[in-house]
Amino acid sequence: MITALIVFGLLLILFVYGVLIYNSLVQIKHNVSQAWSNIDVLLKQRHEELPKLVETCKQYKQFEQETLQRVTEARGRVQEARAARDIPALGAAETMLRAGLGQIFAVVEAYPELKSNEHFMQLMNRVTSLENAIADRRELYNESVNINNVRIEQFPDRIVAGMFDFPRRPLLSFSAEEKRDVDIKALFG
């Protein structure tokens, strides 16, 4: 009788401990989803602002059409990757888009009329603000993903994560090109 109570007590403790681990993993999973949703909202907002920025630049006939074309193509790739929730493809597309935006902002220096255009400056500030917010949210997303990935690999969480199929999540990272300084001379050469 006492042995049965001890065994029952141990099983009850294991069950409660398993439930606590499961609930903790669910919370972490939802934190990752929430962090992604925050990035997604900012990407949508930037997606809506970029055509306005490109159109404003197009009004200046001599503005570099190749740069505008690259930004437009990269914008489309970001949209596709975002819609598919393809984090690695999003990272690559973001790298292309950020490089194009960097070129636009650098080339603008050669166009004083465009630089003095109030509408353009508002759009440029809005896009820059969104870029900074995306960078902040990317950091939060990657932190949430890291917590998720570590927890599902740790013992005893690994057992519960395996039983209920909690997946690893990919980090949102950009290529080494994004981290390099822009060569301003090459842009004007």
Which sequence spans correspond to the domains of the chain? 15-188
Is 50 exceeded by the pLDDT of residue 102?
yes
DSSP reduced 3-state for 36: helix
pLDDT at 13: 95
Token duo for residue 56: 């404003």
100 band by pLDDT with thresholds 50, 70 and 90: confident
Local structure of 125: helix, strand or coil? helix
What token pair was written down for 182? 């822009």
pLDDT at residue 140 greater than cutoff 90? yes
Q: Which of 51 and 115 is assigned the larger pLDDT?
A: 51
pLDDT at 110: 75
CATH 1.20.1440.20 fits 15-188, yes or no: yes
Q: Collapse the DSSP code of 110 into the 3-class scheme (helix H, G, I; strand E, B; otherwise coil) and give the result.
A: helix
Name the more confident of 177 and 157.
157
Largest interatomic CA distance in the chain: 91
Q: Which of 12-16, 51-55, 106-110, 175-179 has the lowest mean pLDDT?
A: 175-179
CB under 8 Å, gap of 24 or more: what pairs does 75-82 form? 75/47, 75/50, 75/51, 78/43, 78/47, 79/47, 82/40, 82/43, 82/44, 82/47
H helices present in the chain, as ranges: 2-58, 65-84, 87-107, 112-115, 118-151, 157-163, 176-179, 184-188
Q: Residues 4-35: pLDDT tens digits?
A: 999 999 999 999 999 999 999 999 999 999 99
Handedness of CA 161, 165, 168, 169 (dihedral sign): negative
Is 62's pLDDT higher than 60?
Answer: yes
